Each structure stands twice: as C-alpha cells, then as structure tokens.
C-alpha cells in the first residue's frame, strides 16, 4: 500500500486510488522498426532491485498519468513527476544520486 | 488433575457462573475465563489431536501462540473452525468441538499413524509423489484426506450470519501492544502532542507485568497500569482499543488492526469484527515476547506447558493444569512460576535448571520456600500418553540416561524468550542475533523504510529485546520520544518510570534436552506441535541436503501451520544450524508475513458482500425492466436484462420469442450501457487513426463507420461504431465492458506518448440513454411518434441512409439517431438525454403496441448477431486473436503508415497461415454445439493428447432457423468449407459439425438496408 503524490492535483494518493502502468520512459517502435527493436519495446523490461521509474495513473482521482521514481527494495520514493517527458527531471536524478551514489537505470545515470 | 484453584484469578468474577459445552458435554466457568482456562477448570486436559500422528494434545500456552487448542466454535451459520481456545473469551452458551479426530477425541483410529511415525518423516508428501499413480489414488490419498487438515470448513450452503466492517484511521503514532511498554510509549508520544492510537489484542491491559510482579513508581504493576490508562483516557489525542490486534504492517506506514467486537458477547448486535485500516506516520511495536518450549522427549504430552503460561493460568484465571509440577528451565524467569504455583497451593516437585550455576535471587527465593532445585539437570523424558504421569530426570550434558524418576502430572518448561518481531519484520525490518539472550531482536539500524527513506517502525520493550521491567520501560520511553520526533513533534523528554524487579542471572541457550539426546528420544521430541514436526525430522532434512531455512521449512512443514511457528521457529532453526555445523544467525529466519495471527475472512471482506459487494450501475430504464420480467445478467458493474420472462414462460422460451419477434415485427433493446466516448480537438482525427485499425480521419460529418481497436501487440481489444459529429469531433462507441478501459487506454497514449497532440477525450456513457429500435416496423414506430408530436426528424431511407446519423427531435424528444445495425434488421439506435431515457422508452413501448413491439435482452442480441456472423469482443476474441483471424482484413487500413498493432501484425507468428480462423459451424444433426468445445484432428501432441484444430467461440439455438448455429476458430477453416469436424464434449459425446460460412441469415444484407 504505497503512497504516491500525484504531481497534477497534489493529492497524496493511496495505492487503491492508483493504477500501475509499468515501466516509464518507453521509446515506441512502430512500422519500419526491426524485429529486435519492436520485440524489446514490447516485452523487455527493467527489473531492478533498487532505483526504478514507473508509470502510474491517478485513476480514482484526477485521471492523470504521471511518473514515479522509487526504490523497489526499500520502497523509498524519490519523487513523482509529469509523464510528459522522455527522461527523469534533473532534480529527481540529483536526489537519487545523493541517496544512491552510482545508481544506473538503462542508460540513465 | 487440572482444576480451579481455591484462590487467585485476577481476571475472573467468581460470582458470575457461565455454562458452556465442549464436544456436547456441559461445563461451567466464570465470567472473565477464556475457553482454555475454563477447560482446565473442568479437568479437560486433552483438547485435540495432532495433525499427522493424531497424538493427544493439551494446552501449551495461554495466548495467541497456542498451537494445539484449536476448536470449532458455534453451529450452523455461525460455525467457525480453527478458533484458539486461548483467545476465545467464554460466554454463556458457547459451544466448542475439538478437531482432527475420528471418531472421537478419546479414541482415534488414526492414532495408528503414531506407530507408523517412521514412514511419515520429513518430506513424506514429496517422497510419495514419485510412486505410481494407482498407489496414490487408492492407498495414500484416501488416508491422507481423512487424516490431514485441521478444522472442517463451514457448510457451503450457509451464509455467515454476522456482519463486518472496515474502519479508516489516521494517526501520527500507532502503538501496537498495551503492555507496560506500549502504555508508556503511547503516553510519551501523546504528551508530545501526537495523535496516538494504541491497540491491545487482549481484553485486559498491562501485558505480563501484573502477573510477573516487581514495582513501577513504587506501585504494583497492575496499579500503575490502571493509573496510566486513566491518564491516557483523559487525553483528547489518544484513542485506545482493546480486543484489537495489530495484524500487519505494510508499505509506507499502512497497518491493519483486527478488532473483535462481539465474539465475547454474541447477540449484542452490531458488527462482529472491525478491520482498522490505519495510516500512521510512525509505528511503535510493543508486542512483547513469547516463551520458547524446551526440546525434550514427550514435550507434547498433555500437561506439559510453557512456564509463564502455567503462571498466567494460576494468577489470571485461578486454574492449574496439575497438582504436582516439575519446572524445567534454562533461565531465571521460570522460578516465578515455581513461586506462583507454590503460592497457589500446588506442589512444586522439582525445579530442574540446566545451568550448572543455577539462577539468581529468584532461585534463592524458591529454595527458601522449601522447593528442591537441581542445577545442571534436565528432563530425559516425560511419561504418560493422554496426560503427564511422571518425569525422568537426567544430566543436561549427557545422552539421557535417567538418574531418577519422579511422579508429576504437569511440567512447566522455559527455553528462554523470543521477542515478537513479526510486525517489525512484515515490511522489511531486519533482525540481529542477540547472543546473550539467544534470540533474534530488531536491528534498530535497519528498520522498515517509509516513502522518505527513513524508518517508520520502532520496537519497544520486550519486543525490542529489553530484558526486565526497568529496561522495558526505559526502552519504551525512548521509543515514545523517537516516534513523536519522527512524526514531527517536539518530544516531551523525561525519565522513564522507575521500576524494580529481582536481578536475574544470564540464561543458557538450550536447543536439545539433554544436550546429546539419542535418536529414540529425538524422535519423540517435538518442535512444531501443530504440524507434528520433530527434532529428528529437521535433522533428516539437513542430512538430505536442505541447507536453506526456507527449503527446510517447506520440506518438513515446520512453522507452516496456522500458528506460523510462533513457538517452533527459533528452536527449529537452532537444530538446523547445529545439523549443518553452522551458526544460527548464518542460517537466518524464515520470512514473517502478515497477519500476525489469523483474522476472519469476514473482516477482510467487510461490508462488501451480497447487494453491496460492488457498486451496481443502472441504466435510466432499470426499474422498468425490473418490473417487466427482466432476468438480470451482470455485465461488468452493469445489470442488463438477459431476457424478459412472461408468466408461464421459461427463460429459454422468452429468448426464442424475443428473437422471432424482433426479426418479424419490432424489438427494443436498452443499449445505454454501450460506452460512448467523445474525442475532440484539432488532432482528434490523427489520434483516432492511431487508435483504430481503419481510417477515421476521412469519415465525413454525418456518417458512421465500424471500427476495430488493437493493442500495441496486435490483439483485438475493442470494437464499435464511430460517428463523426463535426470537423473536430468524433463519438466512439465501445463495448459495454470497455468504456472505462478504452477511455483509460486513450488517455494513456495521449498523456504519455503524444502529449503534444491537441485532443480531449470525455466519457459520456452515463449522460445518454440509448435505445436500439429494431425490426421491419422500426421506422413505422418512430414515424408514429413524430406524427403524434406534430413533426420531427425525417427518418426515411433517403434522409437518413444506412451508416449515417442525424440530430433532431423524435416524438418531441431531443435525440440523435444512428442508422446502424447489430442484428441485420432495419435498425435505429437513438440516443436521448439520460433524464429522458425512461420517458422515451415508455413512449416507444406505447406507440409500438400496434406494430407488435417487445423488449429484448442480451441473449436475443447475441443470437441475432450470431445469425448474421457478427463478432463479439470477448467471445470471438480472448486477447490472443487478431483481426486477420476473424476475416476482418477489410478493416485494416493499407493507406495508414501507422496505427496501434500495425507493426505487430507483421511479426512472424501473426502472419502465420496456420493461425486458426473464423468460420461458421453447423451440427450435422441440428443440435447446439457445447460452448468452448475443442475440435480434434489427426495425431497426438507431445503429451499424448489428441491434437486440437479449433474451438467453438459462440454457439446458440436459432429459433429463426430452427437449429443450432455456431462460430469457431478453425485451423485453415475458410479453405475447408463443407468439411465435417469432431468436437468431443465434456459429456462424453462426440459432436459433428460442418464448416460453413458464418453468415447464417440474410447473406445479402437486404433486410437492414431498406
Ligand atoms: Zn491527481
């Protein structure tokens, strides 16, 4: 029963208000992509024990999709932010670096 | 014999006698008794039989850690199995039955398993699985089924007669445990200004302290508890709940409390249990400690009890399990039991202390009472079967050669104390091994972490490994201050209440008694009473290569019973560590999972049952349907009429009547549940071209198009008619179950992928009532409505052709009419404001009388569409079906560069010509094919099963055609027209069906286009 703050409406939402949407910052591959690219886009997901970026929807609230940066092991939440970005905002990356030096996630460091 | 004592019993009221029954036998107890103490008062020493060997078992403990005394409580719709006698408060008329015996508690046939013990060792079930099947089926399974399992399940025909509820609570500091540590921590946190919730599982406060003695602030502990409770009750920011157990601690300060409101007073009214759903900034676990048994032969014979529990029975309830007690211990605390029993008038035959140097001042006190204390001594074995008759005494540091035998009818044992670390551990709190006290205690450096990365659980008192009254109170003071501080308050710093208790000597770790007990003794030495696991089983598992404690647990079933190993875990892993030549902290513990103690299914369900199990969605015409014979079908959260049954008619008759009438005359369907999404904006067309497989941007205003939606991996997820309303507005119909899901799907793509596209999506499903007016007379009834209203929308073929829509008025109602058909008939779907829905429906019913109008339900809808070969999402699709499988290639745009699913459709498996494809199926004899049946072909698969070549996706009786019709997916189906294939039914029959075109009715589509 996590609590995540919705960056749109500011509500500290109980997990029962939220719908999980899997990994954040996916790059879409469509027609014209190679079989491998498309396969990776559809099926290959990070499964870290540690820092992770996820997509959540404030489904029983304002309805907005947003992103959460959190630690899958300790459940620490480094922050939530708009889904309308291709990578985690700098202040969130800095906050993670402060708490988890040497963290990496895909090609984000 | 076990009996009521002449004195003692601080929790009972001897002026209030209570009658109850145990296995039908009438017994008497007092108000304040637990079922356990009342059974002891009635000399009911034996309370059940063990799980595997059916050995006689008695009470071992006095609290929730009790492994043996599980009973079935109540009768009929209030029957509940596996209730602990120790946590069941006695009430008048209580009826309890012992479990796991056949035919009776005193005489049990399967006690023969006890003699077969060597065949039922660790891993018995796993080892038996490798034997041939017939042996399983005819020999092992019947025996195991008869012998295994604890209580009987309640009668499945009966509904639980009680009610339950959930309750939400927010606290700055949640304190779990109302012993002296919990009370002190709660007081400190509350005085600092925090909003405090304090939970106590028992119906009394103070925990062990009032029984164990000493003084706090110069008072008896019981008096201090009363004084502190008064202080807490006087504070507005404190909520106290007894009979309320902290059941679990979860992510980010979430916790569950389990309050038993009327278990002790049935008939009082109100809910029976209340589940507290708590969010706390900080949680203090002051959950105390649990005493460990000693591992000696015969430690499961009725009359052998934990030393502190025996003391609890004597002091709290004034009962004793015997008249001649032997005490065996490795620590000083058990001397308190010797003192308490002596004071209660019970003979203490001997105190056997494993430590060569014995105990401290408590031992001296016992000796001064004239009780014989022997140091370096141990129990070789306990004599007796259905109860203790004597004890053989030996040296602890030997193999068990008995040096003396004494007569006794009860044994008090103490193997030391284990902090109750469950709640600390539930959400990831780590433990450290405390060598001095031979136990695991919370590691304050590694608590469970909250959202901010800081700890949110603090253990206090005995639960934190504090030994003795003064230590526990000091620890609680610190915990209360720390919790208040972490919750954002300035802690009220002060000194812990001064406490005095006798100094104690160091305990000695004893994992086997005697230390070198031989195999015959070890095979009678129990670790887990409830699951019948012995020292020899764990040793065997270690020899067989089970090194991980998690594997050993599953192999031997140690700690897997309903008590979750509260008594057995530490003893078991000490034996495992010893067998592996390893240290206990290296072996580690198994995982602690919530709930701490079983909670009722009723409490978990709360109010969500029956009518209010989930929200019910009703269309504006719901009440009309209900009073006109609707047989309801749940569709998601909606209820839709399956058919309208007239008096004297079967459901099947009703469906056939509706099907015939709609084709011949006029039918009305409440289609309000169909999802309706408005998609609007400058980029709406571009967006819908991505959402649908076909082109929506080219649709002209005023026109409709049937659209398919695929997921990104190509599978069909929804379908429906899309209407273009104006230059930048579309209205998308979804399936009844799909409105919220597809809305969410659109929002996800709009918000996370194409967030710069200018599109809004609104779900207007509930704003509109929609009626399908279907059949040859459809136009006539609508025109009649207009006539009566003195004009309205032109509904002629020319003004409103097939697959177009118009706004206007029908019968005086503001309406939007779509010329679309899911039945193959002349059909209008008319949307009006939800508030006009019932009036519009009623007007149609009245005007339709002369045209033979009848309402029809979902089953008729299905048959009409199946006669026409139209697919249904969820029947023809199951999440693995692509449009090409259903012959819907025409709906896949070739012009569009991209749409969701397009790239996936070119993956090799999607383009495989061997994919099963949609065809019609006609049984040779006209019968109805069983739904979901598989067609079999030649040859067998790798498992020796016949190869499958297809399956039935929709199957109905068509009253228009007078025969069964079906659709199915068949390998190479479209190129096998006319072939007959076989569908074995689960009824043993083989159904033969011919592959045909799936359009069974009006193949040319003439009827809908008139
Ligand atoms: Zn929100």
Domains recognised in chain B with CATH numbers: 3-100+293-414 (3.50.50.60), 109-147 (no CATH), 166-289+418-500 (3.50.50.60), 525-587 (1.10.10.1100), 675-766 (3.30.70.1400), 913-996 (2.40.30.110)
> Measured in angstroms, how far is the CA atom of residue B455 from the centroid of ligand 1?
27
With 0-12 / 13-18 / 19 or more C-beta atoms within 10 angstroms meaning exposed / middle / buried, residue B608 is: exposed
- Give the closest of B453, B752, B908 to A76, CB-based: B453
Q: Taking CB atoms and an 8 Å limit, are B748 and A29 in contact across chains?
A: no
- Look at residue A30 and tell me if it is in a domain: yes
Contacts of A21 in chain B (CB under 8 A): 748, 752
Tokens standing for residue B633: 């079908």
Report which of residues B137 and A49 the model is more confident about: A49
H/E element, B478: helix B469-486
Chain A neighbours among B 245-284 (CB < 8 Å)?
A: 250-254, 279
| B725-778 pLDDT, tens digit each | 999 999 999 999 899 999 999 999 999 999 999 999 999 999 999 999 999 999
Q: Taking CB atoms and an 8 Å limit, are A21 and B748 in contact across chains?
A: yes
Q: Taking CB atoms and an 8 Å limit, are B453 and A99 in contact across chains?
A: yes
Reduce the DSSP state of residue B849 to 3 states and report it: helix
- Look at residue A77 and tell me if it is in a domain: yes
Say if residue B112 is preceded by a cis peptide, omega within 30 of 0: no
> Measured in angstroms, how far is the CA atom of residue A5 from the centroid of ligand 1?
8
Contacts of A71 in chain B (CB under 8 A): 453
The minimum CA-CA distance between B750 and chain A, rounded to whole Å, is: 10
- Look at residue A107 and tell me if it is in a domain: no
> Measured in angstroms, how far is the CA atom of residue A72 from the centroid of ligand 1?
22
Q: Which residues contact B852 (CB under 8 A, 6 or more apart)?
A: B661, B664, B665, B666, B777
- Look at residue A23 and tell me if it is in a domain: yes
3-state helix, strand, coil in chain A (%, to 5): 20, 30, 50
Contacts of B902 in chain A (CB under 8 A): 30-31
Contacts of B753 in chain A (CB under 8 A): 28
DSSP per-residue letters across B803-842: TBEEEEEETTEEEEEE---SSSSSEEEEEEEGGGHHHHHH
Tokens standing for residue B230: 């008064």
Q: What is the 3-state secondary structure (H, E, C) of B238-295?
A: EEEECCEEEEEEEHHHEEEEEEECCCCCCCCCCCCEEEEEEEEEEEEECCCEEECCCC
pLDDT of residue B563: 83
What CA–CA distance (Å, rounded) separates B51 from B101?
A: 9
| B46-105 pLDDT, tens digit each | 998 887 788 899 999 999 999 999 999 999 999 999 999 999 999 999 999 988 766 677
Smallest Cα–Cα separation from B390: which of B409, B369, B365, B372?
B409
What CA–CA distance (Å, rounded) separates A100 from B984?
A: 60
- Give the closest of B252, B753, B906 to A75, CB-based: B252
pLDDT of residue B536: 92
pLDDT of residue B561: 81
| Per-residue exposure over B452-477, b if at least 16 CB sit within 10 Å of its own CB, e if not | eeebbbbbbbbbbbbbbbbbbbbbbb
Smallest Cα–Cα separation from B807: which of B794, B792, B822, B817?
B817
By C-alpha distance, the chain A residue nearest B446 is A74
- Look at residue A85 and tell me if it is in a domain: yes
Q: What is the ipTM of this complex?
A: 0.96
The minimum CA-CA distance between A17 and chain B, rounded to whole Å, is: 14
Q: Which domain holds residue A81?
A: 3-99
* Average model confidence (pLDDT) across chain A: 94
Q: Which residues contact B674 (CB under 8 A, 6 or more apart)?
A: B720, B733, B734, B735, B736, B739, B765, B770
Contacts of B904 in chain A (CB under 8 A): 38, 42
What CA–CA distance (Å, rounded) separates B813 from B816?
A: 10
Q: Taking CB atoms and an 8 Å limit, are B748 and A2 in contact across chains?
A: no
The answer, for A9 touching chain B at a CB cutoff of 8 Å, is no
Q: Taking CB atoms and an 8 Å limit, are B254 and A1 in contact across chains?
A: yes
Domain with residue A69: its CATH number is 3.30.2270.10
Asked if residues B657 and B741 have their Cβ atoms less than 8 Å apart, the reply is no
Q: Taking CB atoms and an 8 Å limit, are A2 and B753 in contact across chains?
A: no
- Look at residue A109 and tell me if it is in a domain: no
What CA–CA distance (Å, rounded) separates B545 from B111?
A: 30
What CA–CA distance (Å, rounded) separates B973 from B836?
A: 47
- Look at residue A28 and tell me if it is in a domain: yes
Tokens standing for residue B239: 């909520």
Tokens standing for residue B481: 């201050």
With 0-12 / 13-18 / 19 or more C-beta atoms within 10 angstroms meaning exposed / middle / buried, residue B907 is: middle
Chain B neighbours among A 76-95 (CB < 8 Å)?
A: 76-77, 83-84
- Give the closest of A3, A14, A65 to B747, CB-based: A65
Smallest Cα–Cα separation from B308: which of B183, B225, B213?
B213
Q: Taking CB atoms and an 8 Å limit, are A31 and B748 in contact across chains?
A: no
- Number of folded domains in chain A? 1
Strand order in the sheet with B304-306: B304-306, B410-414, B324-329, B347-353, B373-375
The answer, for A15 touching chain B at a CB cutoff of 8 Å, is yes
By C-alpha distance, the chain A residue nearest B763 is A63
Smallest Cα–Cα separation from B40: which of B413, B326, B316, B345?
B316
What CA–CA distance (Å, rounded) separates B52 from B148?
A: 7
pLDDT of residue B146: 57
The minimum CA-CA distance between B174 and chain A, rounded to whole Å, is: 17
What CA–CA distance (Å, rounded) separates B732 from B720?
A: 7
Smallest Cα–Cα separation from B458: which of B469, B439, B445, B471?
B445
The answer, for B610 touching chain A at a CB cutoff of 8 Å, is no
The answer, for B903 touching chain A at a CB cutoff of 8 Å, is yes
What CA–CA distance (Å, rounded) separates B252 from B450?
A: 5
Contacts of A30 in chain B (CB under 8 A): 898, 902-903
H/E element, B324: strand B324-329
The answer, for A22 touching chain B at a CB cutoff of 8 Å, is no
DSSP per-residue letters across B935-971: EEEEEE-TTSPEEEEEEEEEEEEETTTTEEEEEEEEE
For B588-681, list the strands marked E by DSSP. Answer: 630-635, 638-644, 666-670, 675-680
Q: Taking CB atoms and an 8 Å limit, are B250 and A1 in contact across chains?
A: yes
Chain A neighbours among B 727-746 (CB < 8 Å)?
A: 744
Tokens standing for residue B24: 């039908």
Q: Taking CB atoms and an 8 Å limit, are B712 and A55 in contact across chains?
A: no
- Look at residue A33 and tell me if it is in a domain: yes
Around ion ligand 1, residues with a beta carbon closer than 5 Å are A 6, 8-9, 58, 61-62
By C-alpha distance, the chain A residue nearest B897 is A31
Contacts of B906 in chain A (CB under 8 A): 31
Q: Which residues contact B463 (CB under 8 A, 6 or more apart)?
A: B177, B181, B285, B286, B287, B288, B289, B419, B420, B421, B424, B442
Q: Taking CB atoms and an 8 Å limit, are A74 and B449 in contact across chains?
A: yes
Q: Taking CB atoms and an 8 Å limit, are B428 and A74 in contact across chains?
A: yes
- Give the closest of B251, B903, B907 to A1, CB-based: B251
Choose, out of B169, B252, B447, B907, the residue to mutate when testing the contact with A (most A CBs < 10 Å).
B252
* pLDDT less than 70: residues of chain B: 101-103, 107-150
């Amino acid at each position: 029963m996590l609590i995540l703050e919705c960056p749109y409406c500011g509500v500290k939402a109980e997990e029962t208000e939220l719908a999980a949407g899997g990994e954040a910052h996916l790059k879409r591959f469509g027609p014209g992509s190679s079989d491998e690219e498309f396969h990776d886009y559809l099926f290959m997901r990070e499964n870290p024990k540690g820092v992770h970026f996820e997509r959540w929807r404030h489904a029983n609230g304002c309805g907005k999709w947003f992103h959460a940066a959190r630690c899958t092991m300790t459940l620490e939440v480094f922050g939530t932010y708009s889904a309308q970005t291709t990578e985690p905002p700098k202040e969130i990356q800095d906050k993670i670096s402060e708490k988890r030096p040497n963290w990496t996630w895909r090609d984000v460091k | 014999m076990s009996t009521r004592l002449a004195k003692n019993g601080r929790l009972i009221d001897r002026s209030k006698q209570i009658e109850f029954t145990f296995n039908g036998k009438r017994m008497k107890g007092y108000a304040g008794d637990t079922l356990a103490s009342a059974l002891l008062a009635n000399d009911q020493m034996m309370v059940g039989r063990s799980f595997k060997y059916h050995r006689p078992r008695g009470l071992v403990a006095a609290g929730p850690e009790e492994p043996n005394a599980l009973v079935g409580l109540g009768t009929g719709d209030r029957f509940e199995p596996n209730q602990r006698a120790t946590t069941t408060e006695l009430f008048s008329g209580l009826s309890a039955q012992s479990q796991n015996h056949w035919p009776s508690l005193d005489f049990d046939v399967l006690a023969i398993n006890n003699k077969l013990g060597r065949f039922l060792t660790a891993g018995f079930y796993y080892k038996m699985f490798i034997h041939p099947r017939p042996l399983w089926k005819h020999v092992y399974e019947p025996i195991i089924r008869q012998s295994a399992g604890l209580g009987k399940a309640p009668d499945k025909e009966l509904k639980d007669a009680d009610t339950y509820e959930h309750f939400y609570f927010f606290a700055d500091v949640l304190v779990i445990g109302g012993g002296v540590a919990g009370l002190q921590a709660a007081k400190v946190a509350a005085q600092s200004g925090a909003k405090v919730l304090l939970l106590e599982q028992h119906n009394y406060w103070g925990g062990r302290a009032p029984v164990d003695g000493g003084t706090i602030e110069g008072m008896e502990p019981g008096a201090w508890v009363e004084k502190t409770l008064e202080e807490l009750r006087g504070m507005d920011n404190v909520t106290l709940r007894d009979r309320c157990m902290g059941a679990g601690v979860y992510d980010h300060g979430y916790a569950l409390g389990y309050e038993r409101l009327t278990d002790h007073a049935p008939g009082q009214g109100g809910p029976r249990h209340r589940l507290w759903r708590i969010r706390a900034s900080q949680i203090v676990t002051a959950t105390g400690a649990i005493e460990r048994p000693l591992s000696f032969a015969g430690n499961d014979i009725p009359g052998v009890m934990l030393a502190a529990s025996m003391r609890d029975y004597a002091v709290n309830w004034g009962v004793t399990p015997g008249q001649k007690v032997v005490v065996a211990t490795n620590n000083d605390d058990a001397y308190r039991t010797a003192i308490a029993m002596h004071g209660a008038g019970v003979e203490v035959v001997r105190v056997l202390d494993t430590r060569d140097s014995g105990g401290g001042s408590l031992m001296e006190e016992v000796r001064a009472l004239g009780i014989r204390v022997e140091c370096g001594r141990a129990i070789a074995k306990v004599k007796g079967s259905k109860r203790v008759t004597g004890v053989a005494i030996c040296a602890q540091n030997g193999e068990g050669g008995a040096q003396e035998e004494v007569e006794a009818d009860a044994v008090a044992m103490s193997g030391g104390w284990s902090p109750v670390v469950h709640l600390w551990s539930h959400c990831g709190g780590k433990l450290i091994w405390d060598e001095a006290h031979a136990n695991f205690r919370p590691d304050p450096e590694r608590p469970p972490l909250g959202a901010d990365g800081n700890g949110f659980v603090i253990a206090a008192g005995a639960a934190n490994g504090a030994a003795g009254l003064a230590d526990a109170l000091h620890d609680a003071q610190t915990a209360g201050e720390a919790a208040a501080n972490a919750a954002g308050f300035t802690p009220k710093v002060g000194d812990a209440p001064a406490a005095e208790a006798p100094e104690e000597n160091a305990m000695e770790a004893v994992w086997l008694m005697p230390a070198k007990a031989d195999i015959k003794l070890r095979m009678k030495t129990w670790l887990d009473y409830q699951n019948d696991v012995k020292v020899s089983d764990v040793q065997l598992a270690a020899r067989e290569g089970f090194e991980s404690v998690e594997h050993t647990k599953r192999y031997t079933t140690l700690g897997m019973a309903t008590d979750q190993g509260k008594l057995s875990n530490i003893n078991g892993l000490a034996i495992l560590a010893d067998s592996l030549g390893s240290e206990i902290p290296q072996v580690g513990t198994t995982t602690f999972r919530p709930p701490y103690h079983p909670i009722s299914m009723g409490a978990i369900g709360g109010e969500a049952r029956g009518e209010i199990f989930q929200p019910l969605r009703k269309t504006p015409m719901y009440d009309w349907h209900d009073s006109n014979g609707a047989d309801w079908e749940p569709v998601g959260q909606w209820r839709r009429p399956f058919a309208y049954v007239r008096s004297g008619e079967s459901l099947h008759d009703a469906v056939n009547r509706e099907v015939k009438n709609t084709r011949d005359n006029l039918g009305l369907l409440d289609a309000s549940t169909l999802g309706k999404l408005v998609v609007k904006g400058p980029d709406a067309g571009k967006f819908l071209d991505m959402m649908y497989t076909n082109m929506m941007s080219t649709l002209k205003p005023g026109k409709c198009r049937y659209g398919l939606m695929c997921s990104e991996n190509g599978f069909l997820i929804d379908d429906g008619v899309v209407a273009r309303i104006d230059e930048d507005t579309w209205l998308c119909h979804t399936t009844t179950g799909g409105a919220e899901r597809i809305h969410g799907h659109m929002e996800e793509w709009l918000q996370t992928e194409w967030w710069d596209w200018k599109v809004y999506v609104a779900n207007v499903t509930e704003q509109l009532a929609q009626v399908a007016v279907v059949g040859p007379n459809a136009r006539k009834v609508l025109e009649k409505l207009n006539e009566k209203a003195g004009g309205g929308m032109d509904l002629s073929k020319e003004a409103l052709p097939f697959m177009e829509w118009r706004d206007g008025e029908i019968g005086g109602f503001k309406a939007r009419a779509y010329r679309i058909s899911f039945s193959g008939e002349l059909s209008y779907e008319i949307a009006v404001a939800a508030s006009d829905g019932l009036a519009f429906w009623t007007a149609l019913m009245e005007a339709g009388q002369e045209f033979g109008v009848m309402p029809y339900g979902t089953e008729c809808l299905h048959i009409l569409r199946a006669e026409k070969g139209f697919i249904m999402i969820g029947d023809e699709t199951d999440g693995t079906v692509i449009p090409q499988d259903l012959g819907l290639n025409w709906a896949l745009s070739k012009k569009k560069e991209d749409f969701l699913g397009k790239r996936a459709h070119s993956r090799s498996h999607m383009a495989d010509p061997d994919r099963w494809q949609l065809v019609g199926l006609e049984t040779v004899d006209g019968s109805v094919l069983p739904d979901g049946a598989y067609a079999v072909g030649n040859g067998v698969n790798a498992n020796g099963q016949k190869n499958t070549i297809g399956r039935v996706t929709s199957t109905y009786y068509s009253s228009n055609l007078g025969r069964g019709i079906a659709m199915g997916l068949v390998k190479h189906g479209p190129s096998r027209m006319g072939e007959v294939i076989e569908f074995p039914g689960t009824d043993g029959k083989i159904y033969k069906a011919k592959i045909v075109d799936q359009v069974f009715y009006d193949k040319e589509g003439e009827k809908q286009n008139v």
